[in-house]
Structure 1
């Protein structure tokens, strides 16, 4: 893949690019620490201390989850039209106000309104962050930056969750409300970081020439292998090369929407980890909840290590096809191991479950790298935030549908359910690979 850029544009490893990543990492750490603090508090705080019933709280969260599926594209389109940084800062500040409101509210109507607002905004900020990374860094540095930021986020969320759990033991309204307020303040810190980086984004945008004015001869038409995920082709309705303004609105790009759906199916690994595995290990396999918790800690620690590793590796974006199939194969093998575990005594079952969790962890982190790179490749500069937001909807949709499918089909059907899940991963990977072959569009005449 060829990058058309001004020699003056910062490259990965240069001081300006490294500074951008450091600032994003700092902001993400503060933000995620606050998120970890509040995640374990919210439900118990409003049910046990404020006194709302569980059903009412769940209804508010369900409505917010549905709104969260609908908001990313309009917000992304707004960011493309009026400015990414202003919209991103505004969304972060609104989330901060929402959590400060959580710390004070004791009326259900206010709780319902704030919850719907927060969950509607939550799904927008991750895609806005990715758009900001795309604007600040060149092609080679984007995935590395996302990996490092993800590592920082996971570590900070883990630390915040631990501290939040300790705070819950005090059974104090003041302590719990303070944690919610701290999370609110963390969003304002991150908003200040984004605003600072936004000034640099504007400066670099002024230095970067219009890609449409680049010499067509500078495009390396043979740099991608035919049939690879990175292959270059041109066809009507494709996203278009970065910088073009003729890209269709995302809802009219059917190939891209199909890619979003395939990516969402691959992201079922997230619901497998968070919803299916804990239930399956304890109820179907009979493992101790302590063993299950230890294996989930292994997942978190290994994820952080892999993300740091990926963040320091060069050339990941040139091996997207191989990474995709490595992820799919690992997911299928994971499902096969889960079938085998049901036929083992407890000791070997624990060992195979540990191996399965390790394979799932490697697969999910490799898939994240592939997902970031393909979304960067598809998003035309003129509609970058809109396309990034739509791409994130695959993850959001599986968060709504995934638990129902995994618990109602995979857990309920035992071995057959795991085989069905393995087939879903294989088919989704095949579809994702076929669709993403046209992720890049050549600047040369068709």
Structure 2
């Protein structure tokens, strides 16, 4: 495992200098961060115009679009573990370059999928590549970054992805304003170019980015240092992480629906929720990732996430009985709590999943762990609209209890898992020095 250092030069604290200090120090990590930003920029372009592209250009009905998107989600669940195994066999770098190329080609073909059957096939193939890429990116970060900087690098990637999504959506608004099918098609081709551009960037990663492949590692020694993937503790942590990940469905579906139908807050509050969340994630993701250096500290982050998300639910429930001004204030407070829960959930998940994954099968293990969030993404909308919103304030209170219990359960199970594999020891002197160095750079 290698950690490359980019040259740093003393100089005034200009915005460019601050950005360079904020980014990971390793050249390989910076290339990975750049590729993720390019990917998210193109995805933001596409998501903003996808509904009009599907209906105006491809001529699909809303039901057909819904079927295609459901197939994409199903493909993500079915393909995640096989793609993780593929990454273990051929290496993380080769796998992620192949997936980005795959997505680029599929998007080039999208404007020609004028029949529903062709659209369904492409949506399935795109969904498999899209959902399967996350664990492989995390695998590569682990291969090119040192122990003390992996979580921070993942936090930088998450922050810049939010920036990319927002910028892409803003840029897409100019094309949408033309109300032209040609402009909608151009957005799809631009998205394809961003995927192919990301593939080119990642192809320049060093061979170390492939990590240890299944054929070259000592499976016996590696497997003895971690939980087996069929161990109920590992699977339980995956499911609990998926339960905490329901914050994503709350942000995109449950909160907007509750605001619009059960509160007196103005409709503009829905847009404010998304804006506040995006800005805070960009500003706080890296800062709040500090201190997650071992299994125990990662579990605490997920416990904090459970408490924060429980608070979000309670504030949301109270908004139903308030007037317009107070309801808006409660919704804003709920958004702040949700954002903290989102950040702590992701920070804890990165460290927990990586610490409990053996080096020679890391892609497979990370993919299995990610099944929790995939399941939440698939089942969450129906669950929250039926079980939570359908039961009013009692539904939100019940969800708050579930979040709090999920966070507590993570700490209990992770502690037992740590004792079983010896993974919950305090951070080493090297890790501590790395964390101090990173904090000094940010200041």
Q: TM-score, normalised by structure 1?
A: 0.84
Report the alpha carbon displacement of residue 205 of structure 1 after superposing the two structures with TM: 6.8
| Residue ranges of structure 1 left out of the alignment (5+ in a row) | 213-238
Residue by residue, what CA displacement relative to the aligned partner does 1:325-375 show, whole Å, maximum 9, x if unpaired?
322211112222122222221111111211111111111111110111101
* Aligned 1:27-66 pairs, distance under 5 A: 27-66=35-74
Residue by residue, what CA displacement relative to the aligned partner does 1:276-317 show, whole Å, maximum 9, x if unpaired?
000101111032221220222011101110124246x4x332
- Out of 380, 386, 394, the residue aligned to residue 408 of structure 1 is 386
> Which deviates the most, 77-86 or 136-145?
77-86
CA contact (8 A) 1:12 1:138 kept: no
Q: 1:282 — aligned with what?
A: 260
Cα distance between partner residues in 1 of 2:379 and 2:336: 25
Q: 1:114 — aligned with what?
A: 122
Residue by residue, what CA displacement relative to the aligned partner does 1:148-204 show, whole Å, maximum 9, x if unpaired?
0111110011110122233112111221111111111111111122221243436x9
CA contact (8 A) 2:299 2:352 kept: no
Q: Structure 1's 299 and 54: CA in aligned 2 closer, same or farther, altered over 3 A?
A: same
Report the alpha carbon displacement of residue 82 of structure 1 after superposing the two structures with TM: 2.4
- 1:147 aligned onto 2:138: no
Q: 1:372 — aligned with what?
A: 350
Q: Structure 1's 54 and 211: CA in aligned 2 closer, same or farther, altered over 3 A?
A: closer
* Aligned 1:324-343 pairs, distance under 5 A: 324-343=302-321
Q: Structure 1's 366 and 11: CA in aligned 2 closer, same or farther, altered over 3 A?
A: farther
CA contact (8 A) 2:263 2:321 kept: no
* Aligned 1:223-242 pairs, distance under 5 A: none
- 1:316 aligned onto 2:292: yes
CA contact (8 A) 1:11 1:138 kept: no
Cα distance between partner residues in 2 of 1:14 and 1:253: 44
Q: RMSD between aligned alpha carbons? A: 2.6
> Which deviates the most, 57-66 or 420-429?
57-66
| Residue ranges of structure 2 left out of the alignment (5+ in a row) | 9-23, 424-443
Q: TM-score, normalised by structure 2?
A: 0.85
* Aligned 1:6-405 pairs, distance under 5 A: 9-10=2-3, 17-201=25-209, 243-244=222-223, 250=229, 252-310=230-288, 313=290, 315-318=291-294, 319-405=297-383
Cα distance between partner residues in 2 of 1:163 and 1:412: 37
- Out of 397, 412, 419, the residue aligned to residue 434 of structure 1 is 412
Residue by residue, what CA displacement relative to the aligned partner does 1:404-443 show, whole Å, maximum 9, x if unpaired?
1110011111111011101111221122222222444239
Give SS of 1:40's match.
helix
> Which deviates the most, 163-172 or 34-43?
163-172
Cα distance between partner residues in 1 of 2:86 and 2:148: 27
Q: Structure 1's 248 and 256: CA in aligned 2 closer, same or farther, altered over 3 A?
A: closer
Q: 2:396 — aligned with what?
A: 418
Query: Number of residues paired by the alignment?
Result: 403
